[in-house]
Chains A and B, each alone.
Chain A
């Protein structure tokens, strides 16, 4: 394999080209120049020193717009001619703008040439410029890469002589470097043996695989894939049609096409895994039978390798598919995270309104406690005063009525107090800890016994009835339940109250069992509703709030409460406490 490349360039651009090629990347490249004469092209080529140019193999002719009309000498070279040599240094847009302004462009090397011409022709007057410059020449521009410090002075001298305005356009050599590199890489690609080429291809694919799967954005994956084919197949014409699960399409063109809709339509006609034409191919990007997109590569620079390109594309396709698939999953995850976020926000809003409602309830209970009790106090107070101060005027019946007014007022006061207690119990924060129900039950039973020492009640309280819960709430619940048993056994000759536990379906269930009045199970569903009573208040006084309170407490502990009973035979209340951890 020949290891040296020769770039043949016009002497006007030689200093710039030499600087570029001095870089390590161009280590096997040499630059030689031919003697240029833009206005009077010569038929044979000479070295810069005037000796005949010896042509080597592996020589590429760069620029040389002046030589295009001469066939014989340059046919021997690989040609990379361009219409305007200054495109080596300037972008076509900038160059065109200068030409439109009527600028005449110089490189520093051209200035030296010009000085030689000047001496040879002995110019004296400004009008002599017409010999070399057209009338439309409006200004002189030095394209300066900063290689020749004296260039500006030379430029000024010439401009003064010709009485033309002048300016300096400072440039970097990136554009020239890029163009020469392109030549070098095309040449190297051609020099590689088939085996070496495959190796370099696989190195590239390896790199692609490594990078592609790290991108989490579908657009990025597709753009990177297209970039690889763009480089790999040496074509600017690569496009990708992405198709998602909902059959939404997104077209990624490498350049803007006027007939985009047509191209998309054509891509969608692809039914087989791939399709091959002389200088182009299309391939389906699939994962588990699902089509994720279609890749199209057209106008490849070396159609003789099209089979090779397609083969590689078929190898790469699954990786692209995997990367796209990953990116889509990631995208979905992002969306669901956002959804969770917005759901959370909604939940917070609702919590906020619940808190507001609680605040309202708080205000309401406050007005209940204050505003309803006030009038009752008046009712009871004035009835009392009437009874005391005017008893001689009122007969027994009248006094009885007044007493009943008082009893009603007091009962309503109790109802209000109980309601307030219920609402407070429901709202108070739970403080969960280990609670010994046996200890509480013993204490409660002793209190009851002390309050009515004349009653004969046989309490059986099992030991170690422990659970996790809020002590004060559980105590309130037991107070109600044991109090109920105490109350409803008041007519028994020998009252028995048993507090214990049993295990039902792997759950501990506590119970309070008595042999009291019991109730009809037909009404069991009314048992826990506020103000619902299954017995007359005359037989068993009470407000009807007690069991509603107990149920709230048990519910707040995520437990259940239920009862079994028979009229005249007693009742048994069961409850579980759902809270496990403290």
Chain B
């Protein structure tokens, strides 16, 4: 079953570059793009949509308008519908505090976006390999298992 990627990012440049990199790496999964944490939660917590959509990974920016990335993770981890979806924090910040807070709330990975495009390609390659090719999430995310 083909699973989708959710990209939560408010900066259009970052969206374009990320999409370009996905293209370069031959990632042809559907990429759903939302521009704020609120939008992401609305999409993920929708009981109708959750029956039909399956996420392989959520790429989450830390600094977002409205609620920030760590708050989004916290809410995802407290909801049975989204509890087990892999989340990768994708951000410019390399502050230790941000890393600690993100892992504390339950992200699976924390990636500092480098300035160097080529480095970013390398990182994306590794992420793709792990989160979309190798990793199989432990549960079906439809939510039925918790009912």
Contact = CB atoms under 8 A, between A and B. Distances in A.
Q: Do A and B bind each other?
A: yes
Contacts of B17: 377-378, 381-382, 385
Interface residues of A, number: 23
A380 B116 contact: yes
Interface stretch (B42-50, B75-83, B87-95): B87-95
B73 to A, nearest CB: 18
B115 A370 contact: no
A42 B111 CA distance: 122
Chain A contact residues: over half helix, strand or loop, or mixed?
Answer: helix
B13 interface: yes
Contacts of A371: 92
Interface residues of B, number: 19
Contacts of A412: 115
A33 B129 CA distance: 125
Contacts of A376: 115
B95 A366 contact: yes
Contact of A369 (B11, B16, B93, B116): B93
Contacts of A382: 13, 16-17
A373 interface: yes
A413 B116 CA distance: 8
Contacts of B91: 370
Contact of B93 (A366, A377, A381, A384): A366
Given A377-B14, A377-B115, A413-B116, A370 B63 contact: yes
A380 B115 contact: yes
Contacts of A417: 94
Nearest to B91: A370
A374 B64 CA distance: 13
Nearest to B98: A366
B92 A373 contact: yes
Nearest to A421: B94
Contacts of B54: none
Given A374-B11, A381-B17, A413 B115 contact: yes
B92 A377 contact: yes
Interface string A311-355: 000000000000000000000000000000000000000000000
A409 interface: yes
A410 interface: yes
Contacts of A378: 13-14, 17
Interface in A128-158: none
Nearest to A374: B92
Interface string B106-147: 000000011111101000000000000000000000000000
Contacts of B116: 380, 410, 413
A377 B95 contact: no
B13 A377 contact: yes
Contacts of A377: 13-14, 17, 92, 113-115, 117, 120
Interface string B39-69: 0000000000000000000000001000000
Nearest to B113: A377
Interface in A367-408: 369-371, 373-378, 380-385, 406
A409 B115 contact: yes
Interface of B: 11, 13-14, 16-17, 20, 63, 91-95, 113-118, 120
Interface of A: 366, 369-371, 373-378, 380-385, 406, 409-410, 412-413, 417, 420
5 contacts: A374-B92, A380-B116, A381-B13, A410-B116, A413-B115
